[in-house]
Protein backbone atom coordinates (compact mmCIF):
# COMPACT_ATOMS: atom_id res chain seq x y z
CA UNK A 1 0.00 0.00 0.00
CA UNK A 2 2.76 2.44 0.95
CA UNK A 3 5.34 1.32 -1.64
CA UNK A 4 3.43 2.58 -4.73
CA UNK A 5 2.92 5.91 -2.97
CA UNK A 6 6.61 6.31 -2.08
CA UNK A 7 7.76 5.16 -5.51
CA UNK A 8 5.33 7.58 -7.14
CA UNK A 9 6.62 10.54 -5.09
CA UNK A 10 10.24 9.59 -5.85
CA UNK A 11 9.58 9.37 -9.60
CA UNK A 12 7.64 12.66 -9.56
CA UNK A 13 10.46 14.51 -7.79
CA UNK A 14 13.14 13.04 -10.07
CA UNK A 15 11.07 13.70 -13.19
CA UNK A 16 10.35 17.29 -12.20
CA UNK A 17 14.05 17.87 -11.44
CA UNK A 18 15.08 16.68 -14.91
CA UNK A 19 12.29 18.63 -16.58
CA UNK A 20 13.08 21.87 -14.73
CA UNK A 21 16.83 21.52 -15.33
CA UNK A 22 16.47 21.01 -19.06
CA UNK A 23 13.77 23.64 -19.55
CA UNK A 24 15.54 26.26 -17.41
CA UNK A 25 18.79 25.88 -19.36
CA UNK A 26 16.98 26.29 -22.66
CA UNK A 27 15.09 29.35 -21.40
CA UNK A 28 18.18 31.05 -20.00
CA UNK A 29 20.05 30.34 -23.22
CA UNK A 30 17.36 32.39 -24.95
CA UNK A 31 18.03 35.32 -22.54
CA UNK A 32 14.66 35.16 -20.74
CA UNK A 33 14.77 37.07 -17.39
CA UNK A 34 14.76 35.09 -14.12
CA UNK A 35 11.26 36.29 -13.10
CA UNK A 36 9.75 35.17 -16.41
CA UNK A 37 11.63 31.87 -16.09
CA UNK A 38 10.21 31.46 -12.57
CA UNK A 39 6.66 32.30 -13.66
CA UNK A 40 6.69 30.02 -16.69
CA UNK A 41 9.37 27.40 -17.24
CA UNK A 42 10.20 26.64 -13.59
CA UNK A 43 6.62 27.10 -12.37
CA UNK A 44 5.11 24.94 -15.08
CA UNK A 45 7.89 22.38 -14.76
CA UNK A 46 7.50 22.01 -11.00
CA UNK A 47 3.71 21.82 -11.46
CA UNK A 48 4.06 18.93 -13.88
CA UNK A 49 3.53 16.35 -11.08
CA UNK A 50 0.19 17.99 -10.25
CA UNK A 51 -0.68 17.95 -13.96
CA UNK A 52 0.16 14.27 -14.36
CA UNK A 53 -1.63 13.24 -11.16
CA UNK A 54 -4.80 15.30 -11.76
CA UNK A 55 -5.23 14.12 -15.35
CA UNK A 56 -4.68 10.50 -14.28
CA UNK A 57 -7.20 10.93 -11.44
CA UNK A 58 -9.75 12.68 -13.67
CA UNK A 59 -9.59 9.95 -16.32
CA UNK A 60 -9.92 7.29 -13.60
CA UNK A 61 -13.01 8.98 -12.18
CA UNK A 62 -11.38 10.20 -8.94
CA UNK A 63 -12.45 13.87 -9.14
CA UNK A 64 -11.81 14.51 -5.43
CA UNK A 65 -8.14 13.58 -5.85
CA UNK A 66 -7.83 15.78 -8.95
CA UNK A 67 -9.42 18.82 -7.28
CA UNK A 68 -7.90 18.22 -3.85
CA UNK A 69 -4.45 17.89 -5.41
CA UNK A 70 -4.65 21.35 -7.02
CA UNK A 71 -6.36 23.14 -4.13
CA UNK A 72 -4.10 21.55 -1.52
CA UNK A 73 -1.00 22.26 -3.60
CA UNK A 74 -1.91 25.95 -3.97
CA UNK A 75 -2.40 26.31 -0.21
CA UNK A 76 0.82 24.35 0.44
CA UNK A 77 2.75 26.45 -2.11
CA UNK A 78 1.98 29.82 -0.52
CA UNK A 79 1.78 29.03 3.17
CA UNK A 80 4.46 26.37 3.59
CA UNK A 81 6.80 26.82 0.61
CA UNK A 82 6.91 30.62 0.52
CA UNK A 83 6.88 30.65 4.31
CA UNK A 84 9.82 28.24 4.54
CA UNK A 85 11.75 30.09 1.82
CA UNK A 86 11.20 33.44 3.60
CA UNK A 87 12.42 31.91 6.87
CA UNK A 88 15.63 30.92 5.07
CA UNK A 89 16.11 34.44 3.67
CA UNK A 90 13.76 37.43 3.23
CA UNK A 91 12.35 37.31 -0.29
CA UNK A 92 12.36 40.30 -2.62
CA UNK A 93 9.09 40.71 -4.52
CA UNK A 94 9.16 42.14 -8.04
CA UNK A 95 6.78 45.00 -8.81
CA UNK A 96 5.44 42.95 -11.75
CA UNK A 97 4.19 40.32 -9.30
CA UNK A 98 2.25 42.97 -7.36
CA UNK A 99 0.89 44.69 -10.48
CA UNK A 100 0.02 41.66 -12.60
CA UNK A 101 0.72 38.12 -11.44
CA UNK A 102 -0.71 38.16 -7.89
CA UNK A 103 -3.93 39.87 -9.11
CA UNK A 104 -4.14 37.19 -11.83
CA UNK A 105 -3.72 34.50 -9.16
CA UNK A 106 -6.54 36.07 -7.14
CA UNK A 107 -8.85 36.38 -10.16
CA UNK A 108 -8.36 32.76 -11.28
CA UNK A 109 -8.91 31.56 -7.70
CA UNK A 110 -12.23 33.43 -7.60
CA UNK A 111 -13.07 31.95 -11.03
CA UNK A 112 -12.54 28.44 -9.68
CA UNK A 113 -14.62 29.22 -6.58
CA UNK A 114 -17.54 30.42 -8.70
CA UNK A 115 -17.27 27.42 -11.06
CA UNK A 116 -17.24 24.88 -8.21
CA UNK A 117 -20.07 26.49 -6.26
CA UNK A 118 -22.76 24.47 -8.09
CA UNK A 119 -20.90 21.21 -7.37
CA UNK A 120 -19.36 20.63 -10.79
CA UNK A 121 -16.46 21.98 -12.85
CA UNK A 122 -17.79 21.14 -16.29
CA UNK A 123 -16.10 20.81 -19.66
CA UNK A 124 -17.08 24.35 -20.65
CA UNK A 125 -15.51 25.61 -17.42
CA UNK A 126 -12.35 23.69 -18.33
CA UNK A 127 -12.24 25.31 -21.77
CA UNK A 128 -12.68 28.78 -20.23
CA UNK A 129 -9.77 28.10 -17.87
CA UNK A 130 -7.58 27.03 -20.79
CA UNK A 131 -8.48 30.15 -22.79
CA UNK A 132 -7.50 32.29 -19.80
CA UNK A 133 -4.20 30.37 -19.62
CA UNK A 134 -3.44 31.11 -23.28
CA UNK A 135 -4.12 34.83 -22.73
CA UNK A 136 -1.79 34.91 -19.70
CA UNK A 137 0.95 33.02 -21.54
CA UNK A 138 0.64 35.35 -24.54
CA UNK A 139 1.27 38.33 -22.28
CA UNK A 140 4.27 36.67 -20.61
CA UNK A 141 5.66 35.64 -24.00
CA UNK A 142 5.51 39.23 -25.24
CA UNK A 143 7.13 40.46 -22.02
CA UNK A 144 9.85 37.83 -22.36
CA UNK A 145 10.60 38.76 -25.98
CA UNK A 146 10.81 42.44 -25.06
CA UNK A 147 13.16 41.71 -22.16
CA UNK A 148 15.31 39.42 -24.30
CA UNK A 149 15.66 42.13 -26.94
CA UNK A 150 16.86 44.56 -24.27
CA UNK A 151 19.34 42.09 -22.68
CA UNK A 152 22.92 41.69 -23.82
CA UNK A 153 23.88 38.12 -24.81
CA UNK A 154 25.77 36.14 -22.18
CA UNK A 155 29.19 35.25 -23.68
CA UNK A 156 29.28 32.11 -21.52
CA UNK A 157 26.13 30.80 -23.23
CA UNK A 158 26.90 31.81 -26.80
CA UNK A 159 29.07 28.72 -27.31
CA UNK A 160 26.27 26.26 -26.63
CA UNK A 161 26.09 23.84 -29.51
CA UNK A 162 23.66 21.28 -30.80
CA UNK A 163 24.88 18.63 -28.33
CA UNK A 164 24.09 20.87 -25.33
CA UNK A 165 20.62 21.63 -26.65
CA UNK A 166 20.03 17.93 -27.37
CA UNK A 167 21.11 17.07 -23.81
CA UNK A 168 18.64 19.59 -22.39
CA UNK A 169 15.94 18.11 -24.62
CA UNK A 170 16.83 14.65 -23.31
CA UNK A 171 16.37 15.88 -19.73
CA UNK A 172 12.90 17.13 -20.64
CA UNK A 173 11.85 13.84 -22.29
CA UNK A 174 13.23 11.71 -19.43
CA UNK A 175 11.49 13.96 -16.91
CA UNK A 176 8.15 13.56 -18.67
CA UNK A 177 8.48 9.76 -18.72
CA UNK A 178 9.21 9.64 -14.98
CA UNK A 179 6.28 11.99 -14.30
CA UNK A 180 3.83 9.74 -16.14
CA UNK A 181 5.00 6.65 -14.23
CA UNK A 182 5.11 8.46 -10.89
CA UNK A 183 1.65 9.97 -11.25
CA UNK A 184 0.09 6.57 -11.96
CA UNK A 185 1.66 5.03 -8.85
CA UNK A 186 0.87 8.01 -6.63
CA UNK A 187 -2.83 8.06 -7.58
CA UNK A 188 -3.16 4.30 -7.08
CA UNK A 189 -1.31 4.40 -3.75
CA UNK A 190 -3.43 7.32 -2.55
CA UNK A 191 -6.65 5.55 -3.51
CA UNK A 192 -5.58 2.46 -1.58
CA UNK A 193 -4.71 4.51 1.52
CA UNK A 194 -8.08 6.30 1.42
CA UNK A 195 -9.87 2.95 1.11
CA UNK A 196 -7.92 1.22 3.90
CA UNK A 197 -8.11 4.15 6.35
CA UNK A 198 -11.74 4.93 5.62
CA UNK A 199 -11.09 8.62 4.88
CA UNK A 200 -12.24 10.63 1.88
CA UNK A 201 -10.25 10.87 -1.33
CA UNK A 202 -10.58 14.66 -0.99
CA UNK A 203 -8.64 14.60 2.30
CA UNK A 204 -5.92 12.41 0.76
CA UNK A 205 -5.75 14.75 -2.24
CA UNK A 206 -5.51 17.84 -0.02
CA UNK A 207 -2.72 16.41 2.14
CA UNK A 208 -0.69 13.40 1.00
CA UNK A 209 -1.01 13.94 -2.76
CA UNK A 210 -0.75 17.74 -2.55
CA UNK A 211 2.38 17.60 -0.39
CA UNK A 212 3.94 14.88 -2.55
CA UNK A 213 3.38 16.71 -5.83
CA UNK A 214 4.52 20.03 -4.30
CA UNK A 215 7.94 18.69 -3.30
CA UNK A 216 9.54 20.07 -6.52
CA UNK A 217 8.21 23.58 -5.74
CA UNK A 218 9.45 23.29 -2.15
CA UNK A 219 12.95 22.24 -3.21
CA UNK A 220 13.12 24.80 -6.02
CA UNK A 221 12.00 27.80 -3.95
CA UNK A 222 14.16 27.01 -0.91
CA UNK A 223 17.26 26.37 -3.04
CA UNK A 224 16.56 29.53 -5.07
CA UNK A 225 16.26 31.55 -1.84
CA UNK A 226 19.57 30.14 -0.55
CA UNK A 227 21.32 30.94 -3.84
CA UNK A 228 19.93 34.48 -3.98
CA UNK A 229 17.64 33.80 -6.97
CA UNK A 230 14.69 35.26 -5.09
CA UNK A 231 12.72 36.26 -8.19
CA UNK A 232 12.64 32.57 -9.13
CA UNK A 233 11.68 31.57 -5.56
CA UNK A 234 8.59 33.80 -5.50
CA UNK A 235 7.76 33.60 -9.22
CA UNK A 236 7.84 29.81 -9.05
CA UNK A 237 5.09 29.73 -6.41
CA UNK A 238 2.84 32.37 -7.99
CA UNK A 239 3.26 30.90 -11.48
CA UNK A 240 2.63 27.37 -10.20
CA UNK A 241 -0.62 28.42 -8.52
CA UNK A 242 -1.86 30.11 -11.68
CA UNK A 243 -0.84 27.11 -13.79
CA UNK A 244 -2.43 24.65 -11.35
CA UNK A 245 -5.85 26.24 -11.73
CA UNK A 246 -5.85 27.28 -15.38
CA UNK A 247 -3.93 24.42 -16.98
CA UNK A 248 -4.27 21.45 -14.66
CA UNK A 249 -7.93 21.80 -13.68
CA UNK A 250 -8.69 23.18 -17.14
CA UNK A 251 -7.27 20.07 -18.84
CA UNK A 252 -8.65 17.68 -16.19
CA UNK A 253 -12.19 19.11 -16.49
CA UNK A 254 -11.99 19.03 -20.29
CA UNK A 255 -10.79 15.43 -20.61
CA UNK A 256 -13.03 13.98 -17.88
CA UNK A 257 -16.08 12.40 -19.52
CA UNK A 258 -18.55 14.41 -17.38
CA UNK A 259 -16.30 17.13 -16.02
CA UNK A 260 -15.20 17.15 -12.38
CA UNK A 261 -17.65 16.77 -9.51
CA UNK A 262 -16.71 19.19 -6.72
CA UNK A 263 -17.70 17.93 -3.28
CA UNK A 264 -19.52 20.22 -0.88
CA UNK A 265 -16.48 20.28 1.43
CA UNK A 266 -14.19 21.44 -1.40
CA UNK A 267 -16.63 24.08 -2.68
CA UNK A 268 -17.56 25.55 0.72
CA UNK A 269 -14.28 25.26 2.66
CA UNK A 270 -11.08 24.24 0.87
CA UNK A 271 -11.45 26.34 -2.30
CA UNK A 272 -12.48 29.43 -0.24
CA UNK A 273 -9.37 28.87 1.93
CA UNK A 274 -7.24 28.68 -1.22
CA UNK A 275 -8.82 31.92 -2.47
CA UNK A 276 -8.24 33.66 0.87
CA UNK A 277 -4.58 32.58 0.80
CA UNK A 278 -4.21 34.10 -2.68
CA UNK A 279 -5.80 37.37 -1.50
CA UNK A 280 -3.48 37.52 1.53
CA UNK A 281 -0.47 37.56 -0.81
CA UNK A 282 -1.33 41.05 -2.10
CA UNK A 283 -0.91 43.06 1.13
CA UNK A 284 2.15 40.97 2.07
CA UNK A 285 3.81 41.46 -1.33
CA UNK A 286 3.03 45.20 -1.64
CA UNK A 287 5.87 46.05 0.73
CA UNK A 288 8.37 44.63 -1.77
CA UNK A 289 9.77 42.00 0.63
CA UNK A 290 8.45 38.92 2.40
CA UNK A 291 10.11 39.22 5.79
CA UNK A 292 11.03 36.29 8.02
CA UNK A 293 8.20 36.99 10.49
CA UNK A 294 5.71 36.96 7.60
CA UNK A 295 7.16 33.64 6.46
CA UNK A 296 6.71 32.33 9.99
CA UNK A 297 3.08 33.51 9.95
CA UNK A 298 2.49 31.64 6.67
CA UNK A 299 3.94 28.42 8.13
CA UNK A 300 1.84 28.79 11.30
CA UNK A 301 -1.32 29.15 9.19
CA UNK A 302 -0.49 26.02 7.22
CA UNK A 303 -0.07 24.09 10.48
CA UNK A 304 -3.46 25.43 11.64
CA UNK A 305 -5.05 24.34 8.34
CA UNK A 306 -3.53 20.85 8.64
CA UNK A 307 -4.74 20.57 12.24
CA UNK A 308 -8.25 21.54 11.14
CA UNK A 309 -8.24 18.84 8.44
CA UNK A 310 -7.06 16.25 10.96
CA UNK A 311 -9.69 17.21 13.54
CA UNK A 312 -12.41 17.23 10.89
CA UNK A 313 -11.36 13.84 9.47
CA UNK A 314 -11.46 12.21 12.92
CA UNK A 315 -14.58 14.11 14.03
CA UNK A 316 -12.64 15.20 17.11
CA UNK A 317 -14.48 16.89 19.96
CA UNK A 318 -12.07 19.84 19.91
CA UNK A 319 -13.10 20.80 16.36
CA UNK A 320 -15.85 23.34 17.32
CA UNK A 321 -13.57 25.19 19.75
CA UNK A 322 -10.73 25.22 17.24
CA UNK A 323 -13.05 26.51 14.50
CA UNK A 324 -14.43 29.27 16.72
CA UNK A 325 -10.92 30.36 17.76
CA UNK A 326 -9.91 30.66 14.10
CA UNK A 327 -13.09 32.46 13.00
CA UNK A 328 -13.53 34.90 15.86
CA UNK A 329 -9.94 35.62 16.92
CA UNK A 330 -7.13 34.53 14.60
CA UNK A 331 -8.67 35.47 11.25
CA UNK A 332 -9.94 38.97 12.33
CA UNK A 333 -6.55 39.73 13.93
CA UNK A 334 -4.78 38.67 10.74
CA UNK A 335 -7.07 40.78 8.55
CA UNK A 336 -6.43 43.81 10.74
CA UNK A 337 -2.66 43.23 10.63
CA UNK A 338 -2.67 42.86 6.84
CA UNK A 339 -4.78 46.01 6.42
CA UNK A 340 -2.33 48.03 8.53
CA UNK A 341 0.62 46.58 6.59
CA UNK A 342 -0.94 47.46 3.25
CA UNK A 343 -1.81 51.00 4.38
CA UNK A 344 1.76 51.59 5.58
CA UNK A 345 3.19 50.19 2.34
CA UNK A 346 1.07 52.48 0.20
CA UNK A 347 1.96 55.52 2.34
CA UNK A 348 5.66 54.66 2.08
CA UNK A 349 5.54 54.67 -1.73
CA UNK A 350 7.18 57.75 -3.34
3-class DSSP assignment, residue 199:
coil
State how far the alpha carbon of 180 is from the alpha carbons of 6, 13, 52, 259, in Å. 15, 12, 6, 21
Decide: pTM greater than 0.85.
no
Q: How far apart are alpha carbons 130 and 151 in whole angstroms?
A: 31
Tally of CB atoms within 10 A around 263: 18
Q: Length of the chain, please? A: 350
pLDDT of residue 75: 92
Question: Tens of pLDDT along 77-95?
Answer: 899 988 988 888 888 888 8
Domain borders along the chain are 2-348
Contact criterion met (CB below 8 Å) for 274 and 75: yes
State how far the alpha carbon of 190 is from the alpha carbons of 58, 64, 310, in Å. 14, 11, 17
pLDDT of residue 131: 95
Q: Could you tell me the CATH superfamily of domain 2-348?
A: NCX, central ion-binding region (1.20.1420.30)
Measure CA of the first residue to CA of the last residue in the chain; give whole Å: 58
The number of helices, as runs of H, and strands, as runs of E, in the chain is 21, 4
Closest by CA to 70, choosing from 28, 41, 15, 111, is: 111
pLDDT of residue 116: 92
Contact criterion met (CB below 8 Å) for 24 and 235: no
State how far the alpha carbon of 141 is from the alpha carbons of 30, 42, 256, 322, in Å. 12, 14, 29, 46
pLDDT of residue 344: 66
Residue 281 makes CB contacts below 8 A (sequence gap 6+) with 78, 102, 105, 106, 238
Question: Tens of pLDDT along 36-56?
Answer: 665 666 667 767 777 777 888
Q: How far apart are alpha carbons 171 and 327 in whole angstroms?
A: 47
Profile the chain (350 residues) by mean pLDDT over runs of 10 residues: 73 71 68 64 70 81 85 90 87 83 93 92 93 88 67 53 73 73 69 71 74 69 68 79 91 87 88 91 85 90 87 81 80 75 64
Phi and psi at residue 91, to the nearest 5°: -100, 125
Amino acid sequence: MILPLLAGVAFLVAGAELLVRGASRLALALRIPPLIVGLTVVAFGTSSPELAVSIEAALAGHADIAIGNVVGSNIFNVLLILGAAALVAPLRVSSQLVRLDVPVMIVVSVMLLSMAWDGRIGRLDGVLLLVALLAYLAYLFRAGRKAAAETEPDPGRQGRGAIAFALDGGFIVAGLILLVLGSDWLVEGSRLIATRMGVSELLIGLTVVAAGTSLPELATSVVAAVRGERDIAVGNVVGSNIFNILAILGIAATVAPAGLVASAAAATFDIPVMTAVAVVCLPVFVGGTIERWEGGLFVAYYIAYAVYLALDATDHGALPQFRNAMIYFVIPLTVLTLAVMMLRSWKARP
